[in-house]
Amino acid sequence: MDYRKLGQEITELVGKKENIARLTHCATRLRFELHDISKAETEKLKALPGVITVVNNGGQYQVVVGNEVQQVYRVITQQMGSATRSADSKSNSGKNNGPKQKQSWISRFISVISTTFTPVIPAIIGAGMIKAILAVLVLTGLVTTESQNYYILNTIADAAFYFMPILLAYGASIKFETSPILAMTVAGVLLHPGWSALMAEGKDVFFIGVPVRLTDYAGSVLPIIIVVWLMSYIERFADRVSPSMIKFFTKPMIVLLITAPLALVAIGPFGTYLNDLVAMGAEAINARASWLIPLLMGTLQPFLIVTGTAWAMTPIATSQLTKNGYEMINGPGMLASNIAQGGATLAVALKTKNQKLKQLAASSGFTAVLGITEPSLYGVTLKLKKPLIAAMIGGGVAGIYAGLTGLVRYAFVSPGLAALPAFIGSNPMNIVHAIVTCMIAFIVTFALTWIIGFEDPVEDEEEGTTNVNDDKTLSGQPVQDNSPSTQSSTITNANVPSQNELRPLTIASPMQGELVHLDRVPDDVFSLGLLGKGAAIIPAKGELYAPIAGEVTAFMDSKHAVKLNGYDGEEVLIHIGVDTVNLKGRHFDSSIKVGDRVQRGDLLIRFDIDAIKAEGYEVITPIIIANSDRFSDIKLEKQNPVEVGATIIHLS
């Protein structure tokens, strides 16, 4: 591949080097921050030979090029000259010096909400599932609402929502690049029992003569996000004015002395007012047209996911759950949409004659009806278009029913068949309406997809060929093709092994943990196989070992990803976690370097699972056969717990 040409073309199509505010890279993709994203020509970029796909997510414009990312990165940085911003180029204050990407206020708001809520999601989903289990226990009579067991379980489930400001303070501190501990401390001030005692007394409260509005911040969302945003500026001010010799003492003191009173006197009440105003608006719409919000969510949810705007409604939904014990903003419409995605995808699985599409649609359709729709959306319906239209219609129809019947969600979980207990609550008919909503969404969408059909990809055109004897490679060497149609271009090479010399290869497990399919990885570039086939492991221990004998051909400075080229021609890419390039090497330790030769079972990298998770990152680790197209068959061992060295992948 001509990396120089590819780098020049990518630079041109992202709007020339003048449009690049910052460029970093991870193991497979170039991560651009652009001044004006509208100048990027996405479709032309996707069509470039050497570009796998383009992802615009989280304020970054990502161009996925696979294993050659470092070579292409070097070409582009050479073209940019002094404008280059490397993965570690930060000032002493930890802030980026480069110009910021121009974004609309809506994009900035969604980016803030997304980054703030991402680390919090496991806590509120876990709490939501406990709520759902508790609802089932009460419904079946195994637990009564007056029992101590109910009280304790309910307290566990409520904790994540009550202390929501503290959880959100952590996520907001990551977004605004300020101290997480100080941000969480300020959130603790808002929830302190002393503040609750003042509220209980009901007396007027003043601070240095300024009246303080008594507000209950338990479960609130917007106040703490605004407070942490302001705190990021106060911390920079404190850093500048504090003498270096005593900065350790004075900086946190100044931050807390200024931020906490401002939060109690002004910012908190203002944020609460905004929070209540938005919630009142949503409830007013629901009171006058109860079908409208579920209709819009059921119809437009796929569009919201693709554009990254699905997060916009999350603050309202969590606020409703905290105050009312239920919400009608996200849950009902998302339930209709998710089931509709599953219906459309499973219809494709039954109707298509393309075996690869059938397999993908069957697996992703099943996960969609359970509540996880990204594999279905990106892998099937978005590509085929007509099934996506059918899913939006089916989701909208079911959304209307959900709205008219007053369907609500009692717990924060991803709506689907697996989460139906989250719709069990004080209204016994609510779960019935949820089930009917699922049936309408599935039946309408499945029927529409079957009737309007779709353009079924021809297998030979989509995959090039499925014939094992075509010009593929085994064990990294070309295989001679003697079929009549290709004899004129037969490869003759004295080093080509004869058929009886070809032997299967195996990939060993590089870590201890749970072996799962790639579709479990919450990153479409891996889960959809855009970089190659393979498997994934949810690690139980923070150690990565060599799965093959070979040479280290790529190793990230951030130490989260490594590529090995085996002596038998196999190329294996291992990527610890998702988006862990952002950690810039924190919590990873390794002494390997490019060019090192390793044996199967050699220790390559150590990493701290708990610390990585604490910073809000997944640790699920894809193991990719980067040259999958050179093997006629790639088989994954049965999913189960694996030890280091156990065979997980067979290559023919």
Give the span between the Cα atoms of 61 and 42, in whole angstroms: 10
Q: Is 517 a catalytic residue?
A: no
- Identify the active-site residue in 26, 433, 438, 560: 26
Q: With the CA atoms of 575, 579, 582 and 586 taken in that order, what torsion angle do they form, in degrees rounded to the nearest 10?
A: -50
Would you mind telling me the total number of residues written for the chain in this entry? 652
26 in active site: yes
pLDDT in tens, 474-506: 233 333 333 333 333 332 333 333 333 445 688
Q: What is the DSSP string of 167-220?
A: HHHHHHHHHHT--HHHHHHHHHHHH-HHHHHHHHHT--EEETTEEE-----TT-
The pair of structure tokens assigned to 245 is 């010799």
Residue-wise pLDDT tens digits, 524-559: 788 877 788 899 999 999 999 999 988 898 888 889
Q: Do 378 and 412 touch, CB atoms closer than 8 A? A: no
pLDDT tens for residues 146-181? 888 888 988 998 888 888 889 989 888 877 888 889
Angle at 644 between CA 642 and CA 649, to 5 degrees: 65
**Residue percentage of the chain with pLDDT more than 70:** 83
Report whether 299 contacts 396 (CB < 8 A): yes
Handedness of CA 226, 228, 232, 234 (dihedral sign): positive
List pLDDT tens digits, range 218-276. Answer: 877 788 888 999 999 999 898 888 887 888 888 899 999 999 999 888 887 887 777 67
CA proximity to 368, closest of 330, 337, 408, 392: 337
At residue 84 the predicted structure's pLDDT band, cuts being 50, 70 and 90, is: very low
Three-class SS of residue 514?
strand
> Do 302 and 341 contact (CB within 8 A), yes or no?
yes
Helices (H) and strands (E) in the chain, counts: 23, 22
What is residue 572's predicted lDDT score, i.e. its pLDDT? 93
* Phi (first) and psi of residue 553, to 5 degrees: -105, -15
> DSSP class of residue 604?
E
Task: Among 58-62, 190-194, 245-249, 351-355, name the one with the lowest average pLDDT.
Answer: 58-62
Residue 133, CA distances (Å) to 129, 322, 421, 554 in order: 6, 18, 7, 46
Q: Distance between CA 236 and CA 316 in Å, rounded?
A: 31
Q: What is the DSSP-derived secondary structure letter of residue 327?
A: B
| Options 25, 433, 560, 575, the catalytic residue | 575
Task: Please give the Cα distance from 326 to 410 (Å, whole number).
Answer: 4
| pLDDT score recorded for residue 382 | 82
